[in-house]
Amino acid sequence: MKSIFRITCCCLFTFALCSIARSQASQKHLSRVDEMSDFPQPFQIIDFHQLALQFDKTVFDFKAAGKYWPLVWMDSSYKNFNQPVVGLYTAIGDVRQGPENNKGMFHEALANMGSVLSATLVGIDKRKGLDYVGMLKNYFNKETGWDIMMNNTCPEVALLGGGYGRDWWYDVYPNVLFYAICDLYPDEPGFDTIAHQIAEKFYLADSILSGDYHYSFFDYGKMQPMKNNICAQPDVAAGHAFVLYAAYKKFGDRRYLDGALSALGALQSNEVNPTYEVLMPFGAYMAAKMNAELGTKYDLNKMLQWSFDGTAVCREGWGVLTGNWNGMDISGIVGSTVDHGGYGFLMNTYDAAIPLIPLVRYNQFYAGAIGKWMLNAANAAKLFYPQYMPKDHQTIPELAAVTKGVIGYEGIIHTSSYKEHEGLQAPVAQGDGPLWVAGKNPDVTQFSVYGSAHVGIFGGIIRTTATPGILQLNLLATDFYRDKAYPSFLYYNPFREEKTITINLPRGEKTDLYNTVTGKFIGRKLRSSGKIKLLPQQAAVIVCVPSGGKQTFDGQKMLINGIVVDYHFGRKGSH
């Protein structure tokens, strides 16, 4: 998808010079982000949009040639729905999977849903040809009575991996992804029914939990919380809150709003960091969104600090990594800050952007912190891919050709988990695939299909500008179930000097530019393009509004033609 803004170093059209006011709104700091490099090195932002397009074209080729290819097959077991579903490998060469193994039934929703969401965010309609969107219905486990989306289609393959029915985040996150896809394909037959059933289950589960999410998982069939050898995952409340608030926006049922408020309240009530895997940033996003839209007072700063700082008790050290390892900045990637000196994962890094980038629309006081994080994360993400990581920092560089340039390693670690690679210097690109089926999964399973499948999240959000180091971040790309909004973009200047960038505007339309960080219009009646100045190490959140629109106010919200432009107009700071 092409942004209506393209930034170039030369102005092709008439422009107006727009200087951002120097009275910046009070910016909030995140201690973990403050540790990150101002300008990470070696610096290169790869074309995630093009990589996502190439991933889709390459991976969904049923006739792809080469050892371990194709990576897709058709599962005709007809679990849950009377239709086949595409199977997608979790990792290249995974012996648990494929059409000949386990009746072809073992494949993960995290891979399939991630690939559909990813492709859609870069402009691909995944209903054309084979309806990959409709196939996702098979992950709705109605045959088990759970009536939610799960990571596998059936319990027969659950023990093979993927956390099915015993590891809570694995059961909740597919529903988060499904709701996002529902928003992108609102007319997909059968999706509304499924979405409604999921909301009913989550609402009832929250009622039963009554503010206490300290369990290993929840049995949505028996409707009771459960404990096992996996530690409690109270941050699952963030996933419940996301789904229930989305359901409220979709169906208008007040009960779902009550459930979302209850779940987020349960999350906030934790006295220690409850972070487990991927869901905590969604709690921060929901706090910002509901505070802005409903006037609630959730502690956004606490939830953001929890998301980043690596102080999780259950899963020790889980958060966002920082540091420069032997001349390479790895700051911004998400994973364990302590395992083998630090171990960040590709999927977790991509998926953190889903909630954290649109959060800035609802609370611009974290624009600088989120902009700096994304710059670091986008720069470090290339290191997961063998074509961008130096060979002497990879466990299996000799097998790189099998990835066809679209599959990355599962993770980046400080000290290799494998004895045969103990001599490698940090950072080391590797994956845990060989450990899943010890002695049977080949080394090539270190290349992660399911993690690489999520590349379109970065691809749909990030555009480079003519000034290397200043990114254009689309705040609407993953802001699912939003109210009407004008195109909104985050720009962060990491440099110690002022920079000027050019914004190209739609032809034939007069546009006003508003910066929510300063609370001021910085350009009026612009045609074709405009220039803005970014102060040193400052962010701008630019909203493109129609010129001459009627400005009104609703409490602290500023609206143009009835559409909110600034949720905190006139405020110097916010929760």
Residues 86-140: pLDDT tens digits? 999 999 999 999 999 999 999 999 999 999 999 999 999 999 999 999 999 999 9
Average pLDDT on 524-530 reads 85
The pair of structure tokens assigned to 244 is 């229930």
Q: Shortest CA distance to 242 belongs to which of 278, 271, 283? A: 283
Separation CA 281–CA 284 (nearest Å)? 5
Kind plus residue range of the DSSP H or E element containing 241: helix 236-251
Query: Residue 33's pLDDT band (boundaries 50, 70, 90)?
Result: very high
Average pLDDT on 154-168 reads 89
pLDDT above 90 (res 432): yes
pLDDT in tens, 358-410: 999 999 999 999 999 999 999 999 999 999 999 999 999 999 999 999 999 99
Do 381 and 349 meet the contact criterion of CB atoms below 8 Å apart? yes
C-alpha pair distances (Å), 206 with each of 224, 238, 341: 10, 11, 37
Neighbours of 218 (CB within 10 A): 27
Average pLDDT on 441-447 reads 97
Separation CA 58–CA 288 (nearest Å)? 38
Could you give the residue ranges of the DSSP H alpha helices within 7-108?
A: 31-34, 48-59
pLDDT above 70 (res 2): no
Q: What is the pTM of this model?
A: 0.94
Average pLDDT on 304-327 reads 94
Cα–chain-centroid distance for residue 500? 29
Neighbours of 560 (CB within 10 A): 20
Q: What is the pLDDT of residue 19?
A: 40
Q: What is the pLDDT of residue 59?
A: 98
Task: Look up residue 300 and give its DSSP letter.
Answer: H
Q: What is the pLDDT of residue 419?
A: 92
Q: Which residue has the tokens 């109605």?
A: 142
Mean pLDDT over the full length of the chain = 93
Could you give the residue ranges of the DSSP H alpha helices within 228-341?
A: 236-251, 254-268, 280-294, 300-308
Query: Residue 509's pLDDT band (boundaries 50, 70, 90)?
Result: confident
Q: Shortest CA distance to 121 belongs to which of 60, 71, 62, 185? A: 185
Q: What is the pLDDT of residue 401?
A: 98
pLDDT above 90 (res 25): no
Separation CA 433–CA 482 (nearest Å)? 38
pLDDT in tens, 330-367: 999 999 999 999 999 999 999 999 999 999 999 999 99
DSSP letters along 104-170, please? Answer: G----HHHHHHHHHHHHHTT--TTSSS-HHHHGGGGB-TTTT--SB-SSS-GGGGGGSS-TTTSHHH
Q: What does the CA dihedral 98, 100, 101, 103 come to, rounded to 10 degrees?
A: 100
Do 388 and 46 meet the contact criterion of CB atoms below 8 Å apart? yes
Do 515 and 540 meet the contact criterion of CB atoms below 8 Å apart? yes
State which amino acid sits at residue 426. A
